[in-house]
Structure 1
């Protein structure tokens, strides 16, 4: 059990008693990791606010989870350096779900029972997030997910929120672009996991609204080494564009094999692969690939008058200084998630029991978009905060 640091106003007899206990080995006071005794004033002298964070630090979703964890760690240092939350230090306890649904549920149960966390961040993927959200809702534990699927927050459940744009937002943004270009026939090749299946559902649902026909619908497994058979089937259709929904390495493999097969139509990838890892995996074959993404993907291309410009600049510069690389959208999901929790805690006066209710009223300009939560919307974003980019000269460039 952690001991509180004794303040100077305690009676002398109490101090004397503690000294005697220490001399007899009857009590040990916790020391900070640096070995120095903190002052008995300010945030460090108070009980920390403990938050759990479950990210995919290993497994297929690790390109998502690792930057999310790094962003949260960076923000915790900033928050505590500025005095914490309502004068209390913020402590984030991390767990790795190994990109596995069962591991995610085991991890959240551990954090609740052993660490007594008051709120949760995570997970990186849709499957793990859905399992966590079910448990968190039953426990009335506020949770903010970093996964994209619409079903995480639709239908709305008390205390369950998310930071990424949903597959609905991505679908509408892509279809808006296709309508502008006069494209009416699409093929789909999506991961069979919950993320890819969510995109399949939304693409089929909204296609008629934009005058679009789905002429081919194919799936692949997250760990499949090749998708050439699906691409061959698609090549035999009259599709004008191929839409791919998945997380790396799948989309990069598809792009490379499509080039080898001379597919001959443009490829649009979902925001699940919107990071530098995609560029690394796809190499020269990625030239000309289109992608729907958040603005953080191209921080140096955002208009200075954009409401998100200042926070994107601040976060990008801080992240690059800490990790010697620019953040991607996944890092932004973690950064926005913790900022939203902290904003909620501040508005709740530090009372975590009110956090779920208070978050429904939070308005926050983040690196992912401008969040406006409500009782009916626990994602708070629209497709208008997404952009279309093209891989050009090995880099992402905004399509004007």
Structure 2
């Protein structure tokens, strides 16, 4: 090919490259870069959420809340003048996939701290790896064994099954209910609830007259409900995440099971209402205050941050946030608070997080060397499904 012909081909290619580079270099920057001071390197965090699979109704809002907060943090200048960057991975609601994801984030992406996962099983696997690698982890899983016993660098944002158990039992005692049946998922979340419900029953004068389990992917629980119907249980406690609890409620109505049904906070979201439909009327649930954000008293310490979060989330995604979105939001806020107190030095996070006090949308967190969850059952409420909505029980 002749020289002048080569130039004719090369010139438009070079021009296009220059235009492309100019477009990338100007205009809107990625959230991780926005607010970066002096071109400082970002603080790179990893997040493993259940974006697909049975736990996706938990993981998707968690990811959305974190993405929204990253933009806010970086728009305000980041942490110590450095932007925050979050790299996301999907554990597909699977324990093995969660461990694979966290290994990738640590070895390949070189993240300095971790958020996740959405479920207790995946989170427990992540915690084991994170502890061995000395990488701080804030989990969105509810199981008490995430932080009990306390492990260096492992924290969590949801209320535990201990908190939920005590809050439900307090309600049952007020109502004079002494005999209950349990129907819980056989996964780590449901099994954790079973352990706590068994442990604290005597303290509240409760007798468990039936214990049944189901598999996370089971399409029907009618056989377990039929057994429960044949007992003298005065209430049924269900512990699991959607769609299981919604299926149980619908089948219980079909079987004319007339005793109150009380669900754990694992299904405290709008997806439950969508799945259960009219059958959900009258179902009770233990939950955080975010579930009924419009019913929080103005003088409540959480009122301001809950309003800010709800308004921001609705503006970003045109939908009301649920408790799971709140777990992700609190998780990143706690991590950032720790980083601020550590002067941006992630190597100090394990120690610094144990001293963090933070009013979040889930509750008032007071971390300590003895408590890596920092919440109490007093920040939980009892709600009822009424007219297709969650209402605080008076």
Q: Is the 8 A contact 1:144 1:337 kept in 2?
A: yes
The alpha carbon displacement at 1:42 in A equals: 4.6
1:22-62 Cα offsets, whole Å, 9 max, x none, are xxxxxx9x979954177999537110000000000000000
Q: Matched residues in 2 for 1:179 and 1:32: separation?
A: 68
Q: Is the 8 A contact 1:372 1:381 kept in 2?
A: yes
Give the 3 Å change call, closer, same or farther, for CA 118–40 of structure 1 in structure 2: closer
1:191-234 Cα offsets, whole Å, 9 max, x none, are 00000000000000000000000000000000000000000000
Residue 352 in 1 paired to residue 346 in 2?
yes
Q: Is the 8 A contact 2:35 2:78 kept in 1?
A: no
Q: Residue 71 of structure 1: which of 32, 54, 65 is its match?
A: 65
Deviating beyond 6 angstroms after TM superposition, the runs of 4 or more aligned structure 1 residues are 30-33, 37-41
SS in 2 for 1:259: helix
Q: How many residues align?
A: 373
Q: Residue 393 of structure 2: which of 378, 383, 399 is its match?
A: 399
SS in 2 for 1:303: coil
1:91 alignment partner in structure 2: 85
Q: Residue 165 of structure 2: which of 171, 177, 184 is its match?
A: 171
1:138 alignment partner in structure 2: 132
SS in 1 for 2:368: coil
Residue 252 in 1 paired to residue 253 in 2?
no
Q: Is the 8 A contact 2:36 2:83 kept in 1?
A: no
Q: Matched residues in 1 for 2:34 and 2:121: separation?
A: 44
Q: Is the 8 A contact 1:44 1:89 kept in 2?
A: no
- 1:1-400 map, 5 Å: 35-36=25-26, 42-43=36-37, 45-400=39-394
SS in 2 for 1:53: strand
Bigger mean CA deviation after superposition, 43-52 or 32-41: 32-41
Q: Matched residues in 1 for 2:34 and 2:238: separation?
A: 55
Give the 3 Å change call, closer, same or farther, for CA 41–301 of structure 1 in structure 2: closer
Q: Is the 8 A contact 1:56 1:125 kept in 2?
A: yes
Q: Matched residues in 2 for 1:195 and 1:89: separation?
A: 35
Q: Matched residues in 2 for 1:33 and 1:140: separation?
A: 40
Give the gaps of 5 or more residues in structure 2.
Answer: 1-17
SS in 2 for 1:43: coil
Q: Matched residues in 2 for 1:113 and 1:202: separation?
A: 36
The alpha carbon displacement at 1:151 in A equals: 0.2
Give the 3 Å change call, closer, same or farther, for CA 133–44 of structure 1 in structure 2: farther
Question: What TM-score, normalized to structure 2?
Answer: 0.92
Q: Is the 8 A contact 2:35 2:75 kept in 1?
A: no
Q: Matched residues in 2 for 1:105 and 1:193: separation?
A: 17
1:8 alignment partner in structure 2: none
SS in 2 for 1:242: strand
Q: Is the 8 A contact 2:34 2:74 kept in 1?
A: no
Q: Matched residues in 2 for 1:274 and 1:53: separation?
A: 22
Q: Matched residues in 1 for 2:21 and 2:241: separation?
A: 42
